[in-house]
């Protein structure tokens, strides 16, 4: 799942950003969810 954000000025695109959940897409491609949780969790700080 993802989203694209466009900032428009007049008739032109001034800026464009995209954000998506790569974990969801990798699971859909058949990657092991447990392995993905371990790898993707490395970049997420622990919540206390």
Mean pLDDT, 10 residues at a time, over the chain (48 residues)? 91 93 85 85 68
Q: Taking the model in full, what pTM does it have?
A: 0.45
How many domains does one find in the chain? Answer: 1
In a domain, 48, yes or no: no
The Cα-based distances of 46 to 5, 18, 22, 24 in angstroms read 29, 25, 19, 21
Q: Of 1, 5, 28, 32, nearest to 40 (Cα)?
A: 32
* Domain around 25: 2-42
- Looking at residue 48, its pLDDT comes to 56
């Amino acid at each position: 799942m993802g989203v694209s954000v466009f900032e428009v000025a007049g008739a032109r695109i001034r800026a464009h950003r995209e954000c998506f959940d790569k974990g969801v897409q990798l699971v859909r491609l058949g990657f092991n969810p447990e392995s993905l949780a371990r790898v993707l969790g490395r970049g997420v700080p622990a919540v206390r």
